[in-house]
A and B are shown apart, each in its own frame.
Chain A
Amino acid sequence: DAGVTQSPTHLIKTRGQQVTLRCSPKSGHDTVSWYQQALGQGPQFIFQYYEEEERQRGNFPDRFSGHQFPNYSSELNVNALLLGDSALYLCASSLAPPSGGNTGELFFGEGSRLTVL
């Protein structure tokens, strides 16, 4: 049973470029959340996808966008890259909680380390 897989593992971009990161959730999971983790910091919530729709969003500009596909996999797109976008981008999958229920355990992938020069 494969866990959460992310690609690419590492990439280098220059300012102004665009990047697409990909995530396949753990088998059986239907919800994908994306986090940005700067060096030495805690993960910062970007957004969450469920049923192919963005359900929640953190304090990130519109340059950050995403998509979820019918097979529950997801993409994170970042446009007009800035130096400050350099970070580890983590994808986490989970099961959607029952209505009114708490979010359960998040399963994280190994992350995609983005360096913007």
Chain B
Amino acid sequence: GQQVMQIPQYQHVQEGEDFTTYCNSSTTLSNIQWYKQRPGGHPVFLIQLVKSGEVKKQKRLTFQFGEAKKNSSLHITATQTTDVGTYFCAGQRAAGNKLTFGGGTRVLVKP
């Protein structure tokens, strides 16, 4: 079955620094979504990428979908304490299929 892997599993970042988290699928995806879950909270939608090579920005967050539509990345610049949480990618193999979540990258920010 479809597998979605995320690396790293944990990310310790100094406040103000940049970091990138990666998402890799075992199969080609029709689209990929990113969610953020704060400690004790529920996943909250961040963005959806559909096109090969697509890049989208949300303030300090930059999302990219790979050319082969099998991987994605999330880059955060000038990390802030509000960025603490777990970032999940979720891929859909084909339209109408289930959304499969990765294991997440847990981000801790050192002030």
What residues of chain A have their CB less than 8 Å away from a CB belonging to chain B? 33, 35, 41-45, 48, 56, 58-59, 90, 92, 97, 100-111
Contacts and interface: CB of A to CB of B under 8 A. Distances in A.
Given A42-B88, A97-B96, A102-B31, A107 B45 contact: yes
A42 B102 contact: yes
A19 B31 CA distance: 34
A59 B100 CA distance: 12
Given A45-B98, A45-B100, A106-B35, 17 more contacts: A33-B98, A33-B99, A42-B102, A42-B104, A44-B101, A56-B98, A90-B43, A97-B96, A102-B31, A103-B31, A103-B92, A103-B96, A103-B99, A105-B33, A106-B43, A106-B99, A108-B44
B42 interface: yes
Contact of B48 (A56, A59, A100, A104): A104
Contacts of A107: 45
> Which 3 pairs, one residue from A and one from B, show the smallest C-beta to C-beta distance?
A42-B101, A108-B42, A105-B45
Interface core residue of B88, B95, B98, B101 (most chain A CB under 10 Å): B98
Interface core residue of A35, A59, A108, A110 (most chain B CB under 10 Å): A108
Interface core residue of A41, A42, A97 (most chain B CB under 10 Å): A42
B103 interface: yes
Contacts of B92: 102-103
Contacts of B111: none
